[in-house]
Amino acid sequence: MKNEKKLYLIGDIVGLLGALIIFIIPFGFMFINSLKERREANLLNMNWPETLQWVNYKEVFTANNSIVLTAFKNSILLTLGAVVVLIMVCSMAGYVLQRRRDKLCGFLNALVLSGLMVPPAILPTIWMMQRLGIYKTLWGMILIEVALQIPFTIMLYRGFMNAIPVELEEAGYIDGCTRVSLFTQIVFPLLKPVTATVVILNAATIFNDFTNPLYFLPGSKNATVQLTLYNFMGQYSSSYNLLFADVIIITLPMLVLFIFFNKRIVAGMVAGAVKG
């Protein structure tokens, strides 16, 4: 037992050191250099600045007609819209796919799994969005994010359904519940743990998405927070203090979200494995 405890302790120490090297040191490096003057920041060292230049963050917020604020608005609307649609659609889809055992649901399960493996086609999707009149629109981008995250989200809900006894639904039917009221009043409230996981994981993924808004939501008025860094790379390529300040600004929201809710992420993802 003592040897096992020592091994666990060594494993924890190694994990903490790994996290320190991979995550904390780079974040500290960016934060320190974001508070320096341009020439000092361009040296790219970890020396603490003599004078803290908090004005760098103000300059980032006011640059290009406050594009960072516009980007935050777009990213928040995109994230909220996509997450709400994902919860509504995937919770019902996961419920049906878990409870029904016919050939159609077997085919749909295979189709959902294929969505995890098949990459999106950029040009055909842009062509279709142009024909539908939703290209370069926030609603079109929300639909793209929903389509990309649906397979993983359905699998999360479907796995969690294993932990919900069928007897609860049978009791609801006996009490006169319709299928809609059964799901909304009995089943969905029991999905809070996995719903919290879905919200956090999808919010982080969509908020931090760079590639898809670059293709499907071009234009300065449609900029998202990740695209601001792309724009700043060209404008402030010799001003690392401003680049690092922008990175810190766009990283903090999801970092805080993950720190406070990481236990909910783990709980929601493993809860469905209790019952086969």
Segment 143-191, tens digit of pLDDT = 999 999 999 999 999 888 888 888 888 888 888 888 888 888 888 888 8
- 62-273, CATH topology level: MetI-like fold (1.10.3720)
Q: What letter does residue 176 receive in the DSSP assignment?
A: T
Supply 130's token pair.
Answer: 């142009």
Three-state secondary structure call for residue 275: coil
Domain ranges of the chain: 62-273
What is the structure's pLDDT at 177?
80
What is the structure's pLDDT at 112?
85
What is the length of the chain?
A: 276
Output the pTM of the full model. 0.83
What is the structure's pLDDT at 274?
47
Q: What letter does residue 188 receive in the DSSP assignment?
A: G
What is the structure's pLDDT at 142?
96
Q: Name the one residue in this structure whose structure tokens are 């929903």.
A: 146
The packing angle between helices 55-99 and 103-117, to 10°, is 160
- Going by C-alpha positions, the residue among 217, 209, 245, 223 that lies closest to residue 71 is 223
Supply 80's token pair.
Answer: 């909220």
What is the structure's pLDDT at 152?
92
Mean pLDDT, residues 220-236 taken together? 81
pLDDT in tens, 16-63: 788 778 778 888 898 999 999 888 888 888 888 888 889 989 988 888
Mean pLDDT, residues 203-228 taken together? 89
What gap in Å lies between CA 91 and CA 183, rounded to an integer? 9
Surface-to-core class of residue 186, CB atoms within 10 Å of its CB (0-12 exposed, 13-18 middle, 19+ buried) = middle
